[in-house]
Amino acid sequence: MAERMLQFVRLSQQTPEKREPTIRREDFDEIYARFDPARASEQASRCSQCGVPFCSVHCPLQQNIPDWLKLTAEGRLEEAYEVNAATNTFPEICGRVCPQDRLCEGNCVIEKGFESVTIGAVERYINDTAWEKGWVKPPTPVRELEHSVAIIGAGPGGLAAAEKLRTQGWQVHVYDRYDRAGGLMIYGIPNFKLEKDVITRRTAQFEEGGIHFHLNSEIGRDVTLEELRARHDAVLIATGVYKARDIAVPGAHLDGVVPAMSFLTASNRKGLGDDVPEFDSGALDAAGKRVVVIGGGDTAMDCLRTSIRQGAASVTCLYRRDKANMPGSMREVHNAEEEGVRFAWLSAPDAFEGDTRVTGVRVTKMHLGLPDATGRQQVEPIPGSEFTEPADLVIKALGFDPEDLPRMFDEPGLGVSRWGTLTVDRRNMMTSLPGVFAAGDIVRGASLVVWAIRDGRDAADRIADYVKARDAVPQAAE
Ligand code: FAD
Ligand code: SF4
Ligand code: SF4
């Protein structure tokens, strides 16, 4: 092992090639190329095979990273794929969208003095190769079970649970109010981060493996939670968080002031070839417009970079804190800067100007003051600093809260936290309703794809335990 691995002392870090900003601004294709086989093997060989791998500790799926890196370095790719796929339902997606700088790679021990192993890019390489070679198979149960589960939400959380239970032989029914499976992976995250066929080839395989999808089916409107509970042995709620945080300033009703998800969904739908009247009318198309995006998270970065690709005349990000305090991934901020986005740091909107259509955003400059009780510096307005930022399209990307599920599901007994997320018993992931489990953003609040996968996989195990225990009780009593 030793001579093949530990190559970080000899080989420098190389990431897959990134397309030139001037070229990638012109289309919605992914911006990173794939490693070629020699480069992937070389980069994997930089790993020092730590006894206690901090990369794995900080991966939400606690994947066996050193093992699949070693197998890749040795050219044993099919085995690398098997080890990787054993712990991750969507490794090819995580390789693309995980903020690796904050997770696995950010905690790689050879960070210090050298540069971390490019774990995400290698994970993507292994799994893209696996798809090409036909190693990725639909979930195939060894025997069919009578147990059935209803999964509400076809995002990464719901799908990870669906795949695991189906592989065990469960009858799995996934309900989603959208017309396509994938959740935010299909309608939130733009193509230039995650091309859509990467998701659709997975969901097609899930269908082939016997997972039943009930699309255009909203629980609380088309079907009730009560019906699902009566029909199935267990229910998993994985509905994500969709209530957009708003900003209560004058002019918020003006035409041309739009929520981020409407903008991103229209763009993603257009890319998928759908008819999108709100896009075709120009209402949700940034072409030729002066675009202002409000917010500093990853959703804001996606809106900014989508606007660039749609051919906006100018694209400006207004964020009330400074760059160092942005919640978004630095990698994405950097990509946005390269593509021509202008960042107006320490800038807070006071009002949207215009008669019926927005023409500008009234902005006050801020400065960072004393830290509050949480240690975070307060933002304070600078008197007399107001100015107007011209705008034809304003996109609000201020984050998401959970919808009111107890009301939507007509289940007042469904317990929620003070933030509206579902409360679950941490030991078994069950909500306050027996046999009803929850996973992903609806429990954590807006989070990451990889955490939803982790929760979905865990929930599948807890659901199986629950039904096993339930079935065992009458037998034990006899
Ligand atoms: P979701 O993916 O939200 O899926 C929930 C599903 O439930 C949806 O399909 C919805 O239609 C369905 N649903 C909701 N209510 C009902 C109902 N009543 N009946 C039936 N169906 C219902 N994470 C990353 O790791 N990397 C990124 O780069 C990244 N970029 C992002 C960009 C944007 C713009 C956004 C908004 C999020 C991003 N995220 C990213 C976060 C990530 O997408 C989410 O954390 C993840 O998708 C959550 O998974 P989930 O399964 O809990 O919910
Ligand atoms: Fe890193 Fe995400 Fe892969 Fe874990 S799943 S190894 S955090 S890229
Ligand atoms: Fe390899 Fe870095 Fe993980 Fe250590 S922390 S096992 S060097 S990838």
Residue 3 has pLDDT above 70, yes or no: no
Residue type, 69: L
Give the span between the Cα atoms of 362 and 352, in whole angstroms.
6
| Residues 221-240: tens digit of each pLDDT | 999 999 999 999 999 999 99
Query: Mean pLDDT across the stretch 273-280?
Result: 96
Q: Nearest bound ligand to CA 402?
A: 1
Give CATH 3.50.50.60 domain extents, the chain.
148-241+402-472, 250-397
Residues of the chain with CATH 1.10.1060.10: 7-133
What letter represents residue 104's amino acid?
A: C
Start-to-end CA span in the chain (Å) = 57
CATH 2.30.30.830 is held by the domain 250-397: no
For residue 475, the model assigns a pLDDT of: 56
Q: Tens digits of per-residue pLDDT, 306-331?
A: 999 999 999 999 999 999 888 878 88
Q: Which CATH class is domain 7-133?
A: mainly alpha
What residue type is 425 in one-letter code? Answer: D
Q: Is the CB of 104 under 6 A from ligand 2?
A: yes
Beta bridge partners of 362: 351, 388
Q: Which atom of ligand 1 is nearest to the CA of 189?
A: 32
The secondary element (H helix, E strand) that includes residue 441 is helix 441-444
Q: Whose CA is nearest to atom 8 of ligand 1?
A: 183
Confidence of residue 408 (pLDDT cuts 50, 70, 90): very high
**Tokens 């050219």 belong to residue:** 75
CA distance linking residue 277 with residue 274, whole number of Å: 9
pLDDT at 295 over 80: yes
Any atom of ligand 3 within 6 Å of the Cβ of 117: yes
- Give the containing element (helix H, strand E) for 315: strand 314-318
**465 DSSP β-pair partners:** none
CA atoms within 13 A on the CB side of 103: 21
pLDDT tens profile 324-357: 888 878 889 999 999 999 999 999 999 999 999 9
Band of pLDDT at residue 126, cut at 50, 70 and 90: very high
Is there an atom of ligand 2 within 6 Å of 449 CB? no
Q: Assess whether the C-beta atom of 65 lies below 6 angstroms from ligand 3.
A: yes
Residue appearing with tokens 């499976």: 181
The CATH code for residues 148-241+402-472 is 3.50.50.60
Distance CA 376, CA 437 (A): 34
Q: Is the separation of the CB atoms in 221 and 144 below 8 Å?
A: no
pTM of the model: 0.95
* Residue 189 Cα to ligand 3 middle (Å): 29
Q: Taking each helix axis from N to C terminus, what angle separates 449-477 and 156-167, rounded to the nearest 10 degrees?
A: 40
SS3 16: coil
Element (H, E) at 256: none
Q: Is the dihedral of CA 202, 207, 212, 214 positive or negative?
A: positive
